[in-house]
Structure 1
Amino acid sequence: MDSLSQIILGAAVGEAVLGRKVGNRAMLWGGICGTLPDLDVFANAVTDPMSALAYHRAFTHSLPFALLAAPLVGLAIHRFYGGREGPVKGWPVFAALLAAFYALLTAGSLLMPIEVYNIPVVTLVITAVFAGIFLVVGGLRWLRGFPDVMANASWKGWSWLAFAAIVTHPLLDCFTAYGTQFFQPFLASRVAWNTISVADPLYTIPFLILLVWARTRVQGTGARRKLNTAGLILSCGYLLLTTVNYFNVDSVMEHTLNERGINATEHVISPSILNNVLWSGTARTEGDVYYFSQYSLFDRYRNFEPFIRIAGNHDLVAPYLEDRDMRILRWFTKDYYGVIPSDVAGKVQVNDLRYGLIADDPADPNSYIFSWQVDTTSRPVRVVQESAGPREGVKPGELLGRLWGRLKGI
């Protein structure tokens, strides 16, 4: 999900694990550890688009990473506040921990079954950014002055906090349509339960209010603990509600397909952005033909309306399916992709059809949320441009208006 939601979840988990012992530091480091997996976005700056696509929500979002990184991060925080547990004495411990973190991140990333370029550089950048976070927190401590006694926990305590905050990040991502590669480096498949949008205010805002309210209460008090627990319970309850919605909407999709006589080999549904009321559905049929439609919980009838036929045009890329960039695109889209010829000779646009259309014309290149320009003039073919969100000539205000109008129901 979005970074703010992950920071809030990490901070709340940190408070639940160590709040009674270390106070606000539990929220601080819970929030930092909660956003640590998303440092993989820095791959965009040092590698090619397809490597960055494959690397996002990969090893840093996996269970093995959470298990192995937590002791390193926990020891670093413990020593940061003056603790003496663990190997290596004095300040050299931080250099040793950074080296161990870099080695872990690099080894796990190199073992990934998807081919990612420049992994040593990618992991070096992530490690440097994480080290920079410690420097920033240390700088703020220096500016505010060092107290005589600093709240600290054991290496084990901080490690539990780090693990809980790191692992809940990919678990939350599993509920989204984008999903996460939770079992990297052993499996390339993404876990995606498709129950919640990547940004949902009804999940984030109440959770944030309760966390800030808890932050104002005195460390270790029952009121602080209850408010933080209430935030965690409310957020989990909302995820449960989205799961119920998913199974409800999925039954509507199956009923509509049968009613319309669409012989779908499979289908995918997911909530539209910023809500859990309006859902999109894409069905795949034989002969690379897809059907896209939407359903709002406020619709009068339990049907997806209207259905738009989308030609896959897979024949345009058939000779290149085993080229590395196309293999990654097929893996990422789970073969829910359509191809449109480009105005530029030798190039085609590959569109992710899982998220449907943002306009009514499937032949319009601007109708798709995620798309890639693929250059077929060289072998192997390569992605030369990645696009996400509204394109040129598409006004965000109009898109939100269309979203709101359909969300209110038919």
Structure 2
Amino acid sequence: MDPLSQGLLGASLSQSVSNRPRFVVAGVLGLLSGLAPDIDVLIRSSHDPLLFLEFHRQFTHSLLFIPIGSLICAMLFHPLIAKKRGFSFKQSWLYCTLGYATHGLLDACTSYGTQLLWPLTNERFAWNSISVIDPLFTLPLLIVLAIALWKRSPAIARVAFLWALIYPTLGMLQRDRAERTGWQVANERNHSPVRLEAKPSFGNILVWKIIYEADGRFYIDAVRAGQKLTVYPGTNVEKLNEEKAFPWLHENSQQAKDIGRFSWFSDDFVALSEQSNQRIIDVRYSIVPNELNALWSISLSENAADNEHVTYLTHRSSSEKDRQRFYNMLFGRSQ
């Protein structure tokens, strides 16, 4: 989730259990601790472009790391912020713990994947109930917390935290509606999906990307889950067959290992790019939800040495036509 949402959620929970004299400082501790787990974005390597994919949303986001992460936050923020205002270390640690604890759970509500139970498992939990950026989630949270700060009111802060629970719950209901529609579409095509998922499109819980795997291919559609359910048929692509796509690739080469790492990150939703037979895409994400224009990919080289890594690429630009197609879906217009 975006940093603003993470910080606001952390502040809302810490302020919800505070009192008027401690309200502001409790909110600051919760906000900063709510942001802290994303320090893992700094774990990068100039030699290994996929390292950050393995460590982002890993140990710092684990539920088991909350006592350690929040303790580190308290050790940093207590002497800087809270001690001079009469807080005991235990009180600072409590507010830091509440703020820190919200981060991984909110991230798990998105579709990116969060290792909530690391080191017990490296499974990436993705509940697919909210987009990584959603103004309808963040703006009410911001407005209500601003009012709570003005009034120094823990009760109003609880309203903000309640909204942070209600909105992802609405997202889950919307996700289930979209998934049921996706299964109906697959049945109408006489497909028997191995798996089917609905993921929120950018910035909303109204339009959903539907991906299902059947007969070695990924089928991609969009569903607008308004009062009426509208299907926007999309495209399909063959699931990556590594041996077929790269017969020249050595099994023990670094590029082969990197394909495995990228596939793990992408939950095995990987395919060969239609633009390049040397590029592997993550089919889960695109600006227009029923299209295949991936937001990131890896590129291989047949001439690479056995110890050479793949190249990681991002593709986040969008054309005016792409944005217009997305807006048409969002507002229920014909394509």
TM-score, with structure 2 as normaliser: 0.88
2:124 corresponds, among 167, 186, 190, to: 190
1:183-222 aligned at under 5 Å gives the runs 183-218=117-152
CA offset at residue 361 of structure 1?
7.3
CA offset at residue 228 of structure 1?
0.9
- RMSD (Å), alpha carbons: 2.4
Over 3 Å counting, the alpha-carbon distance change for 1:21 and 1:48 in structure 2 is farther
- 2:159 equivalent in structure 1: 230
Give the stretch that moved more between structures: 195-204 or 234-243. Answer: 234-243
CA deviation string 1:251-304 (max 9, x = no partner):
1111111122122211221010011100001111233x111000102485x463
- 1:304 equivalent in structure 2: 231
Q: Do structure 1's residue 329 and structure 2's residue 262 form an aligned pair?
A: yes
C-alpha separation in 2, matches of 1:72 and 1:406:
45
C-alpha separation in 1, matches of 2:223 and 2:190:
18
Over 3 Å counting, the alpha-carbon distance change for 1:299 and 1:370 in structure 2 is farther
2:184 corresponds, among 255, 259, 266, to: 255
- The answer on whether the counterparts of 2:45 and 2:51 sit within 8 Å (CA) in structure 1 is no
- The answer on whether the counterparts of 1:313 and 1:340 sit within 8 Å (CA) in structure 2 is no
- 1:7 equivalent in structure 2: 7
C-alpha separation in 2, matches of 1:368 and 1:274:
17
Q: Which amino acid aligns with 1:25?
A: V
Gaps of 5+ in 2: none
1:8-407 aligned at under 5 Å gives the runs 8-44=8-44, 48-80=48-80, 83=83, 150-218=84-152, 224-287=153-216, 289-298=217-226, 300=228, 302=229, 304-314=231-241, 315-317=244-246, 319=249, 323-340=256-273, 348-356=278-286, 358=288, 367-378=293-304, 379-380=306-307, 382-390=309-317, 394-395=318-319, 397-407=320-330
- Give the number of aligned pairs: 326
C-alpha separation in 1, matches of 2:61 and 2:88:
25
C-alpha separation in 1, matches of 2:29 and 2:146:
15
CA deviation string 1:330-383 (max 9, x = no partner):
10111111113766xxx7111111225749875xxxx22222222343325622
Whose radius of gyration is greater, 1 or 2? 1
C-alpha separation in 1, matches of 2:275 and 2:235:
21
C-alpha separation in 1, matches of 2:250 and 2:11:
46
- The answer on whether the counterparts of 2:206 and 2:226 sit within 8 Å (CA) in structure 1 is yes
C-alpha separation in 2, matches of 1:195 and 1:326:
28
- The answer on whether the counterparts of 1:62 and 1:167 sit within 8 Å (CA) in structure 2 is no
Over 3 Å counting, the alpha-carbon distance change for 1:30 and 1:326 in structure 2 is same
Runs of 4+ more than 6 Å apart:
none
- SS of residue matched to 1:248: helix
Gaps of 5+ in 1: 84-149, 219-223
C-alpha separation in 1, matches of 2:113 and 2:142:
23
Q: Which amino acid aligns with 1:232?
A: F
- The answer on whether the counterparts of 1:280 and 1:293 sit within 8 Å (CA) in structure 2 is yes
